[in-house]
Amino acid sequence: MKTQRLEKYKSVCSASLTPQHPLIIQTRGHLSMLGMGFHHQLSRIMRPDDANIVGNVHGGTILKMIEEAGGIISTRHCNSQPGDRCVAALARVERTDFLHPMFIGEVAHVSAEITYTSKHSVEVQVNVLSENILTGAKKVTNKATLWYVPFSLQNIDKIIEVPPIEYSSPEQEEEGRKRYEAQKLDRLETKERNGEVIMPVLSPDRQTKEAYTVEFSQSSLIHLVGPSDCTLHSYVHGGVTMKLMDEVAGIVAARHCKTNIVTASVDAINFHRKIKIGCVVSVSGRMTFTSNKSMEIEVVVDADPLVEAEKGKFRAVTAFFTYISLDKEGKPLPIPPLKLENDEEQKRFEEGKVRYLQNKAKRLAEKERQQ
């Protein structure tokens, strides 16, 4: 039975690299400045079906590629030791910035590297580079950090121990440990506040809602999880969920601004529970904060099992997306201020303002370090 499952695992991995899925995969193991480990590069030309409604590459498509590269390298690393075969599941994506837009016809190069391991988790850092193959021009479009947890192929509830990596110095390992502890603490804090119910908004009468309020732009998508959405365990790929979340956030932003909008960044995405095939997922988004040039949208994913209905509905994923509004020349436009109608909206607005100021301070500090 174990051999059959392993063969199935190999066949599925091979199937994902057929011409129907036009990826160029390059992997090399070597000693790098970040320690002994594997680098992984995934390259793909951006096609028309990767576009958003204004013609740029969909932010959710980029998030899916980032997750795919991270999943490959972390799963490969976790299977480099004897014992149960396993697959690495996405647990968290740290703040991800969209530095430049990517366009149809360009080639996306997604480079992933393992930078830290704890007993049960893997940190993967990913860079995304776009290449104009007509001019040769290249630019960095995204940077992200992801955390994965390996689950046994024989028992989905069993978490596998992660093989350690070697570090170039004790200081490098200590920095990784600090990042691990910080994300662990943030996940615990997020779990404490993720119980609030956001009812799906399917067909609201927006004519009765005041423009620029939370209720006016609040939006939802309903999706039945099918086989093409899932991993070897029949659980949803993290990248599939992130693309749905980005679509909902984009709808909220567009309804608020009524202009061309693009993803500017994504605050940490926390995957609280796995979503199984056959679940109906409700992806809901609402505006929480606006500054002069940006808007924050809270997005939650609730899953409702159809076959195992007795398990009940549960909160699976949470995140905050930041969008900006652009004119026809691609220059930022002012954001209409969010109109607050009750104390809860005021509280969420103040919390969003704190996140906005913290992220702004981090960006300024990063610029100073680079100078």
pLDDT surpassing 70 at residue 11: no
**Which candidate, 154, 167, 149, 341, places its Cα nearest to that of 238?**
149
pLDDT surpassing 60 at residue 284: yes
236: β partners = 230
96: β partners = 266
Mean pLDDT computed over 154-168: 92
Instruction: Check if the beta carbon of residue 90 is closer than 8 Å to that of residue 70.
Output: yes
For tokens 């009765």, name the residue.
Answer: 208
Predicted confidence at residue 186, as pLDDT, reads 85
User: What domains, with CATH codes, occur in the chain?
Assistant: 2-181 (3.10.129.10), 206-370 (3.10.129.10)
Q: Quote the CA–CA distance of 169 and 181 in Å, as a whole number.
A: 19
Q: Establish whether 155 is a catalytic residue.
A: no
Instruction: Check if the beta carbon of residue 111 is closer than 8 Å to that of residue 131.
Output: no
pLDDT surpassing 90 at residue 371: no
Over residues 125-141, the pLDDT tens digits come to 999 999 999 999 999 99
pLDDT surpassing 60 at residue 6: no
Predicted confidence at residue 194, as pLDDT, reads 59
Between 14 and 171, residue with greater pLDDT:
171
Q: Establish whether 260 is a catalytic residue.
A: no
Over residues 32-44, the pLDDT tens digits come to 333 344 688 999 9
Predicted confidence at residue 193, as pLDDT, reads 59
Q: Quote the CA–CA distance of 6 and 328 in Å, as a whole number.
A: 52
Predicted confidence at residue 207, as pLDDT, reads 75
Predicted confidence at residue 82, as pLDDT, reads 92
What is the average pLDDT value for the chain, to the nearest integer?
Answer: 87
* Residue 24's pLDDT band (cuts 50, 70, 90): very low
Which range among 197-201, 265-269, 288-292 shows the weakest confidence by mean pLDDT? 197-201
pLDDT surpassing 60 at residue 365: yes
Instruction: Check if the beta carbon of residue 12 is closer than 8 Å to that of residue 76.
Output: no
Query: 50, 56, 79, 246: which is the annotated catalytic residue?
Result: 246
Query: 50, 52, 56, 270: which is the annotated catalytic residue?
Result: 52
Of the chain, the percentage scoring pLDDT greater than 90 comes to 71
**3: how many CB neighbours lie within 10 A of its CB?**
7
Over residues 171-230, the pLDDT tens digits come to 999 999 999 999 988 887 776 555 566 667 666 667 788 999 999 999 999 999 999 999
For tokens 């549960």, name the residue.
Answer: 314
pLDDT surpassing 50 at residue 29: no
pLDDT surpassing 80 at residue 63: yes
Predicted confidence at residue 12, as pLDDT, reads 40
Over residues 75-127, the pLDDT tens digits come to 999 999 999 999 999 999 998 999 999 999 999 999 999 999 999 999 999 99
Predicted confidence at residue 8, as pLDDT, reads 45
Mean pLDDT computed over 280-286: 96
Mean pLDDT computed over 307-330: 90
Residues 6+ away with beta carbon under 8 Å from 330: 101
For tokens 């100021």, name the residue.
Answer: 357
pLDDT surpassing 90 at residue 299: yes
Q: Quote the CA–CA distance of 167 and 164 in Å, as a whole number.
A: 10
